[in-house]
Amino acid sequence: MLKKLAAEFVGTFALVFLGCGAAVLAGFEIVGQLGIAFAFGLAIVAMAYGIGPISGCHVNPAVSLGLYVANRMSLTELWQYVLAQCFGAIVGAGALYLIANGTLAYTLSVNGLGQNGYGDFSPGGYSLWSGLIFEVLATFLFVSVVLGSTEGPAAPFAGLAIGLTLAVIHIVGIQVTGVSVNPARSLGPALFVGGHAVSQLWLFILAPAIGAGLAGLAFRSSLLRAEA
């Protein structure tokens, strides 16, 4: 279990450091929305094959919750994974802040750390309800891909499928909320940015949890599970 938790810490650190790092250190001016989307997706692909054999590469409390609801991990494993993921995300955001703060062009209150938001703090000005609907649906689709691709004959290609799914979710949703589908990914940057990022954090915990729970139920009931 210690190896699994260490892997989840490293994987979630990498996701936040590389994904949010693309937004903060490179930004829309250099890599654009497509580049940021693929930074998140490729980070997942890399971690899936790097730490997947150790922990399954959840690197996301929503994924772990979906697996728990689908009866593929225990409650004890769930909370231990979630703690490791949140800690990894916080350290990843902290490392990103230390690097970004090394230039006079960066200001935390202006440039942020790739935090999520809705309303006035949505990149595209989308409302709370738009953000809620997007995050629930996107997380449902994402966790469904995780659950479906990690069992059966598709398993060797799961990392690629999951990473590409996360990339396309970001292509569609960056302007809506900045894309969470991952409470740990939202938590890390929010704790450093503070203010509105913390006050809006509840949405990026609740909505992914709902989406992941629905995906887990769909697989537990065999509604979305392939026949053996």
Instruction: Round to whole Å and give the CA distance between 15 and 167.
Output: 12
Q: Is residue 227 part of a domain?
A: no
Structurally, the chain folds into a number of domains equal to 1
DSSP secondary-structure letter at 15? I
In 10 A of CB 220, how many CB atoms? Answer: 17
pTM of this prediction exceeds 0.75: yes
> pLDDT (tens digit, 0 to 9) for every residue of the chain, 228 residues total?
999 999 999 999 999 999 999 999 998 888 999 999 999 999 999 999 999 999 999 999 999 999 999 999 999 999 999 999 999 999 999 999 999 999 999 999 999 999 999 999 999 999 999 999 999 999 999 999 999 998 877 788 899 999 999 999 999 999 999 999 999 999 999 999 999 999 999 999 999 999 999 999 998 997 777 665
CATH number at residue 35: 1.20.1080.10
Q: Is residue 81 part of a domain?
A: yes
Q: Is residue 41 part of a domain?
A: yes
Q: Is residue 95 part of a domain?
A: yes
Instruction: Please report how the helices 61-69 and 183-193 are oriented relative to each other, as an axis angle in degrees rounded to 10.
Output: 150
Instruction: Round to whole Å and give the CA distance between 182 and 170.
Output: 12
Q: Is residue 52 part of a domain?
A: yes
